[in-house]
Amino acid sequence: MILHHISRKALVSGVRGLNRRLFSASRRKGLVLGVYEKEKDDDGVLFTEAAASFDSSVSGKLRELLSLSGPPLKLGKSRVFYGLHQDFASVAVVGLGKKGVGVCGKENWDNCKENIRAAVSAGCRQLQDLEIPQVEVDPCGDGQSAAEGALLGLFEYDELKSKKKFPVTPQLHGSADTAAWEKGVLYAEGQNLARRLMEAPANYITPTVFAEAIEQKLSPFSDRVIIHKRPQSWIESEQMGAYLSVSKGSEEPPVFLELHYTGSPDSSQAPLVLVGKGITFDSGGISLKPSSGMDAMRADMGGAATVCSAIVTAAALKLPINIIGLAPLCENMPSGKANKPGDVVRAKNGKTIQVDNTDAEGRLILADALCYAHSFNPRAVVNAATLTGAMDVALGSAAAGVFTNSNWLWEQLHKASVITGDRVWRMPLFQHYTKQVTESALADLNNIGKYSRSGGACTAAAFLREFVTANHWAHLDIAGVMTNKDEVPYLRKGMSGRPTRTLVEFAAVLATEP
């Protein structure tokens, strides 16, 4: 036993030494391959199709090294080998968990897709740490999920740092699953665009800069982008008094961004209208927020970022659907011109609103945007907003809360989220909550609930419903999923860009329905 142990140790040491020398001599490309957990009656290594083919090309050396290098790989774990193949300086083998798993009713997502995303991201990051510039990725049976895992896992916002992450270009290994891979790349790039917008400092992403950035991204697809050039006069002409009241506290001018993507062969098809809250910085206004953590409020335009990024992605995918995107953009700042607690403002539909808390500003700008959305005779209206801290308390980062008046719309959103793994969860829209915002001393509505600490996410949704006449409307409160700490393994710490992919998948599903 001792002799066997010594010989094995010497063999592994010798292989590692040779691998390091070969690696230092060549840094051409890296490769990420998948391996499944062993079945109960299986003593061997269970490779993916691509990994099995690679192992055959190196005469079984990969299987041998995996057996020598330690216990079987668990889900999301990776192990790197060097010098196995002349075309690849390093090969990262990643654990995919059990083979054949699918949609989990308890978790409300597809375990197989989530496992692939987590595993591929782990392998790509490990090769990034080794400064491998090009990485080929095993599709692992689902090229779209593999691409999403690679691009989402490698993203980090370091544009303002001198020392940046080593740039890595992931690409598909082999020729199979090319269409699925390319689709996954677009989905991931869409979410990364939202992450970039949300992560950037508020002095870099002002309402004007945000609108110009989206215009630049959408312009290659020859669709209509309207940045209302004299926004305040336009806002006034549209009688958006609630939106204007929030914007007047800042020196930065408000911008109302309107996106038109016409992908349906029938240009008269009723559009899907997506509305996103666009507060590019939220100080709370006169109802000033605590200074601790206020810097994260640069991402209070997460609703606008995800909605606009989803439309850019839908255009890149050439989805056969008509979509209109609306993003009321402004800052919420304290000044002599800002809203004061107790002020009354008038929304576009004529309803008056008592502003008892200036930090409940998102619902004010969305109220006017939702009224405007109905002018397009929409097929459905979906708005997204980092609206309430209460949503974070209720669901945390597990899922975005959905409040909707339509069972059909809920089913479509839920179906999309199971596929993307970026989950949604239905919340109540009871009249119980409506009464708490319609009982106001000075106006038709109050911008906070009668019992301000109770059901805050629900009363905010009830407030928004007062500006909705569409039969199919959904409000996504994404405050809980705004950031990622370590909950989603294929996203680094920081702003998450969620639920961009779910909105894209929702639009894709809607495009296939009559």
Residue 292 three-state SS: coil
pLDDT at 110 over 60: yes
The answer to whether residues 104 and 154 belong to one domain is: yes
Report phi then psi at 434, rounded to 5: -60, -40
The β-bridge partners of 384 are 276, 476
Strand (E) or helix (H) holding 6: helix 2-25
Query: Based on C-alpha coordinates, what's the Rg of the chain?
Result: 25
Report phi then psi at 79, rounded to 5: -140, 135
Q: Tell me the pLDDT tens digit for each residue of 269-300.
A: 999 999 999 999 999 999 999 999 999 999 99
Q: Classify residue 8: in a domain, yes or no.
A: no
Q: Tell me the pLDDT tens digit for each residue of 72-81.
A: 899 999 999 9
pLDDT-derived band at 41 (thresholds 50, 70, 90) equals low
The answer to whether residues 125 and 236 belong to one domain is: no
Q: Tell me the pLDDT tens digit for each residue of 115-171.
A: 999 999 999 999 999 999 999 999 999 999 999 999 999 999 999 999 999 999 999
The answer to whether residues 156 and 209 belong to one domain is: no
Global pTM value: 0.93
Q: Tell me the pLDDT tens digit for each residue of 442-463.
A: 999 999 998 877 999 999 999 9
Report which DSSP code applies to 501: H
Residue 314 is part of which domain span? Answer: 191-511
Residue 294: count of CB within 10 angstroms of its CB? 14
Q: Classify residue 238: in a domain, yes or no.
A: yes
Q: Classify residue 271: in a domain, yes or no.
A: yes
Q: Classify residue 182: in a domain, yes or no.
A: no
CA distance 392 to 400: 9
| Burial profile 395-422: b = 16 or more Cβ within 10 angstroms, e = fewer | bebebbbbbbebeebbebbbebbbbbbb
**Is 74 a residue of the active site?**
no
The interaxial angle of helices 500-511 and 407-420, nearest 10 deg, is 120
Of 277, 363, 492, 498, the active-site residue reads: 363
Report which DSSP code applies to 289: P
pLDDT at 21 over 60: no
CA distance 69 to 74: 14
Find out whether 310 and 197 touch, Cβ atoms under 8 Å: no
pLDDT-derived band at 100 (thresholds 50, 70, 90) equals confident
What is the overall mean pLDDT for the chain?
A: 93
Report phi then psi at 330, rounded to 5: -170, 175
**Is 379 a residue of the active site?**
no
Strand (E) or helix (H) holding 192: helix 178-199
Report which DSSP code applies to 498: T
Span 9-34, average pLDDT: 60
The answer to whether residues 161 and 213 belong to one domain is: no
Q: Tell me the pLDDT tens digit for each residue of 420-444.
A: 999 999 999 999 999 999 999 999 9
Comparing CA positions, the residue from 215, 285, 209 lying closest to residue 252 is 209
The answer to whether residues 115 and 261 belong to one domain is: no
- Residue 27's pLDDT is what? 55
The answer to whether residues 196 and 167 belong to one domain is: no
119, 144, 173 — which closes off a domain? 173
Of 16, 289, 426, 450, the active-site residue reads: 289
CATH number, domain at 37? 3.40.220.10
Higher-confidence position of 70 and 270 = 270
173, 202, 227 — which closes off a domain? 173
* Number of domains within the chain: 2
The answer to whether residues 196 and 162 belong to one domain is: no
pLDDT-derived band at 11 (thresholds 50, 70, 90) equals very low
The answer to whether residues 97 and 225 belong to one domain is: no
The answer to whether residues 147 and 247 belong to one domain is: no
173, 205, 235 — which closes off a domain? 173
Find out whether 310 and 190 touch, Cβ atoms under 8 Å: yes
- Residue 228's pLDDT is what? 78
pLDDT-derived band at 7 (thresholds 50, 70, 90) equals very low
The answer to whether residues 482 and 347 belong to one domain is: yes
The answer to whether residues 90 and 237 belong to one domain is: no
Q: Classify residue 1: in a domain, yes or no.
A: no
List the Cα angle 133/157/206 in 5-degree steps. Answer: 140
